[in-house]
Each structure stands twice: as C-alpha cells, then as structure tokens.
Chain A
C-alpha cells in the first residue's frame, strides 16, 4: 500500500522557473524523505526531514513539513533541464519500511 500522495501527478515548467510539489500522508511519521528518479534508473535520495523539523534546505531544494496537516512540499528553485525526473516522497514511522507515494513527473523545458 502507498501512503503518500504527491500532487500534482505531472508538472511542466520552463527552465529558470520554480517547481513546487506537494505530498500528503495518512499516519504519524518519524521522518519524510524526498527521492528523485530519472527515467529507467534507480532512486536518488534528495533530503530527509524529521518530524520535529519544519523546514530544511539543500542547495536549490527547500522542503517543508507540516505534521498537523500531514503534508510536505518540495520546492526546486531556478529549475534546470537536468531536473526533469519523477519525484517521490516517502515516509517512515519507527522501524517500519519506507512507504512511497506515486510520484510527481516533472518536465523542465529548456
């Protein structure tokens, strides 16, 4: 079963614009992680935010977490064509397996 629901399912933007993807989940969590997957390849870990954190930055990435709304957002600033990929949120509660959402397909047009 998949807990996370990313929104939108697909997003197309121009190079240089910002991209925002949202993730909603259902149960309590210890942390939420965002992963990127290029077509036909494995997942790459982007950022992990703990349940007691509200915002985290890594380079052009900004992640927010609102545990009261059970939601998270991933912002990619100044997007590049190389950012074209699928982005997944994944949640973890205790020593349970990571639960992934269905992902957002991002297309950045040069």
Chain B
C-alpha cells in the first residue's frame, strides 16, 4: 500500500487480557515508531526501531509493553495484562532511513488503533 497501515482499527478488550497491535510501514522505510495518544493529548513516544532492532525503547511505560519487528518491516506492539489506563489510540509511523541526519526526516503516520480496555 501507499501509506502506513495499522490493524485492527479498533480493539475492545477486558482488563487483564493480552492484545497485539500491528503496523505495516511504508515499503522500504527502515525506521519505525510507536506512539500512544490519550484523549485530548498529543502523541507520546513509546519505541523506535531501526531495521529489526529496537534502537530506543525509553518510552515504554512498563514491562507489560513489548514490541517486535522480526524482519525489519511489519511491527507488532504487544500489551500484557491490559489495564483500563492503557486505553488510548496507538499510532505507528515510519520514515525512510536513519542516518547521521535522521533527525531532519519527516515521519509518516498510520491511522492508529483505538484500544479500549473495559
């Protein structure tokens, strides 16, 4: 596809359950980012992948959150033992590459997955 895609678009789960959120970045983009956006707030950084490796996971709130990108393309954000406070929109973004001037690059966002934990 032409843009970043995320599935599912909506996910409703019960407190304590496990969820997986998927991100399919733009083809050829080596950098991939996950963000979480609560109602009325801006996106907050969770984790950044360069290729298959997590280059920066400093934004993950606790060890219930984990993300993988095994082949350097699709990424999955995994949340264990979900809590009501995890309810938010989870956004994925990608950018073409990371180099010494990566901080000058634009990020392309997907439509997000709206997670509701009951």
Residue contact B41 to A102, C-beta cutoff 8 Å: yes
Interface size on A, residues (CB 8 A): 29
A68 at the interface (CB under 8 A from B): no
Bound Cα distance A94, B56 (Å) = 13
Contact B91 A43 (CB under 8 A): yes
A102 and B104 in contact (CB under 8 A), knowing A42-B112, A43-B91? no
Which of B56, B103, B106, B112 has the most chain A CB atoms closer than 10 A to its own CB?
B103
In the complex, the answer to whether B91 meets A100 with C-beta atoms within 8 Å is no
> C-beta contact mask, B38-63 vs A, less than 8 Å → 1, else 0?
00111111001000000010110000
Chain A residue contacts of B45, Cβ below 8 A? 97-99
Q: B110 interface residue, CB < 8 Å from A?
A: yes
A97 touches B59 (CB 8 A): yes
The CA of A93 and the CA of B98, in the complex, are separated in Å by 15
Question: In whole Å, how far is A51's beta carbon from the nearest beta carbon of chain B?
Answer: 10
**Measuring CB to CB, which residues of chain A are less than 8 angstroms from any residue of chain B?**
1-2, 4, 30-31, 33, 35, 40-45, 48, 50, 88, 90, 92-103
